[in-house]
């Protein structure tokens, strides 16, 4: 099915991923990675919960759970977004918020690197996660993505947030519950993911 007509539905998990045009770099400096994460914080956390992420030099992965239909309807009313054309339904708001991230990030990246034009492929790719086992495998897959590096030490992945006690906006407790414990979370990450991409 064409990604452009595959609706993103409330209360469901999605693996969101994308890459630079022609697999070009979309992150060249720590500042780029941090700016992209800031844009996620500003634009996505109202419409979804983030369960895992990994930003790589030429692509990224996010695992999100879209908020419930009631939460999205309330957000639309509170934000006056019901007056914005195309946001009549809660299903559209996630895509609109994601477009804001891409547009803002691409403009900043282009300005910094003296380039113009599209930076990230469109539309963004997504895969519905329809079982708890699949959800666990997707989390492991995302965290193991920096295969050339030691993924447990990779700076721009959510892995370290789950094994630390520092404050996080991620759904740490929910993720650790999926693995029964922090120890089992770490153990399972040392086994290759069976996630089918």
Give the pLDDT score at 1: 47
Across the chain, what does the average pLDDT equal?
89
141: tokens are 């897959």
How confident is residue 90, by pLDDT bands cut at 50, 70 and 90?
A: low
43: Cβ–Cβ under 8 A, 6 or more apart, which residues?
97, 98, 100, 101
Cβ–Cβ < 8 Å for 90, 76: yes
Q: For the chain, what are the domain ranges?
A: 8-189
**pLDDT per position as a tens digit, 153-185:** 999 999 999 999 999 999 999 999 999 999 999
Strand ranges inside the chain, DSSP E: 13-19, 48-56, 59-66, 125-129
**pLDDT per position as a tens digit, 184-197:** 999 999 998 888 86
Which CATH homologous superfamily contains domain 8-189? Transposase IS200-like (3.30.70.1290)
How confident is residue 98, by pLDDT bands cut at 50, 70 and 90?
A: confident
Cis peptide before 123 (omega within 30 of 0): yes
- Where is average pLDDT lowest: 2-6, 57-61, 115-119? 2-6
How many other C-beta atoms can be found within 10 angstroms of the C-beta atom of residue 185?
A: 22
Whether 60 has a pLDDT exceeding 90, the answer reads yes
Whether 152 has a pLDDT exceeding 90, the answer reads yes
Q: What is the pLDDT averaged over residues 29-38? A: 97
Tell which wins on pLDDT, 8 or 171.
171
Q: What is the pLDDT averaged over residues 114-141? A: 94
């Amino acid at each position: 099915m064409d990604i452009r007509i595959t609706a993103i539905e409330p209360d469901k998990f999605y693996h969101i991923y994308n890459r630079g045009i022609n697999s070009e770099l979309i992150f060249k400096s720590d500042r780029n990675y941090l700016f992209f994460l800031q844009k996620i914080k500003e634009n996505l956390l109202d419409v979804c919960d983030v369960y895992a992420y990994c930003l790589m030099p030429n692509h990224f992965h996010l695992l999100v759970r879209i908020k419930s239909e009631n939460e999205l309807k309330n957000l639309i009313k509170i934000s006056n977004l019901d007056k914005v054309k195309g946001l009549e339904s809660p299903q559209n708001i996630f895509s609109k918020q994601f477009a804001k991230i891409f547009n803002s990030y691409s403009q900043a990246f282009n300005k910094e690197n003296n380039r113009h034009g599209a930076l990230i492929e469109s539309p963004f790719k997504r895969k519905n996660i329809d079982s708890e086992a699949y959800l666990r495998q997707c989390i492991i897959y995302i965290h193991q993505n920096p295969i050339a590096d030691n993924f447990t030490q990779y700076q721009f992945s959510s892995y370290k947030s789950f094994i630390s006690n520092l404050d996080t906006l991620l759904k740490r407790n929910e993720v650790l519950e999926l693995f029964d414990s922090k120890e089992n979370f770490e153990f399972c990450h040392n086994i290759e993911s069976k996630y089918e991409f």
